[in-house]
Amino acid sequence: MGVQQKNTMPIISRMPAMSESEHVCSYCGDAIGGRLFLRESEQHYCERCYLKRGKHIPHGEPYSLLAEALATALDLRERETGLHSKRVACHTLVLARRVVSDADMLKQIYWGALLHDIGKIGVPDAVLLKQGPLDESEWTEMRTHPSKGYEILAPVPGMAQAAELVLAHEERFDGSGYPLGLLGEAIPLGARLFAVIDTLDAITSDRPYRRAQNFDRAAEEIVSAAGSQFDPLAVEVFVAEKAALRRMVDLKCTMSEAEVDTTLNLDARTKP
């Protein structure tokens, strides 16, 4: 049975190239120049400021604010300058919206994806920030981060399903992942969707040992791993959303603040 579209998501398009003097970021005031940027109404934003504004998080959602702050801290500690945590969280929602209609579940998936690496707080800098390849003992240490992340989030009221995603985000559909070696649908749905997006972001982002590859190369690798690394359903959803994800990857950005707000259904007026 094919994947059914739950709703549609408008995508912010790439703007034509303009001279450095024509546009400045409406948030920080810096000249945008040749960098990627987004236009919302009549204002322009560089990627970092667009994601930092946080206006899509309504007042009265302290967990959301804390989750965003923790994700920023994690990316800074790993010297991740590409807003990885925020980006993969929003991209995971693109997939989740096709197969999940429950607003609370979507919120849990978003938080879990945003905080997937929170357990790396407990990984020593000598391992986490090592420039060369890790040895066997260092890999053993690195592989503790899903369990450590679960231990951090699980006691937090209202974060139970997000914690399950954090615990399972390194699992593989064929059972060869870690830390529990979960197989198939024993892996939470959110973690199965996240695994596809995490790989997409890894392949299309620069790494110390290689330059970013294009979307088509990433898509080819993801599709080829259906049934082994990835849930075939998650890959099916990915294929259905390729056009949207391609544009988002090209911009290295996320959905608009209004779209995140709608997706997470955080407005109190929607509550029964």
Catalytic (active-site) positions: 120
What CA–CA distances, in Å, run from 105 to 25, 31, 101, 215, 263?
A: 34, 39, 8, 28, 11
> CA 40 to CA 62: how far, in whole Å?
26
In the structure encoding, which two tokens stand for residue 139, read together?
């890999």
Cα radius of gyration (the chain) = 18
**Which of 85-102 are b and which e, b meaning 16 or more Cβ less than 10 Å from the residue's Cβ?**
bbbbbbbbbbbbbbbbee
> CA 45 to CA 28: how far, in whole Å?
8
> CA 264 to CA 178: how far, in whole Å?
29
What residue type is 41 in one-letter code? Answer: S
Beta carbons of 146 and 152 less than 8 angstroms apart: no
Give just the sign of the alpha carbon dihedral 229, 219, 99, 85. positive
> CA 203 to CA 210: how far, in whole Å?
10
Would you say how long the chain is, in residues? 272
> CA 248 to CA 215: how far, in whole Å?
10
Kindly state the greatest CA–CA separation across the chain.
Answer: 54
Q: What residue ranges in 136-242 does DSSP mark as E strands?
A: none
